[in-house]
Amino acid sequence: MLIFAWILAGAGILLLLISAVGVLRLPGALSRQHAATKAATLSVCLFIFGQTGFVIVSEWGWEWLARLLLLLLVLLVTLPLASHALARSALCELPAQPGIEKKE
């Protein structure tokens, strides 16, 4: 179980680093925002699942497990909403493009 927790936490960290490189390298605001939110959501989930394995193995108690699961729930609700709000605001700031309607 401990090895599996390390693998999940490591995969989350690696995916977060890859998304950070994507934010630095991608050209447009919407593509940067896509790299930041989609990969970050998955990497945070993997990292929290890995930490959950550490909590279970080290017997820290159910309080820590509840905190991690509450943190996961809050992040899964707020990250997509923030991504949507950022995409709408970036779309309003872009110049007019054919085939894309702007909603005020």
The contacts of residue 71 (CB under 8 Å, 6+ apart) are 48
Which pLDDT value is given to residue 103? 62
| pTM score | 0.75
What's the confidence (pLDDT) of residue 97?
64
Q: What is the pLDDT of residue 46?
A: 92
What pLDDT score does 12 carry?
Answer: 92
The pLDDT value given to residue 71: 92
Chain centroid to Cα 21, Å, comes to: 14
What parts of the chain have a pLDDT lower than 50? none
Q: What pLDDT, on a 0 to 100 scale, did the predictor assign at position 94? A: 67
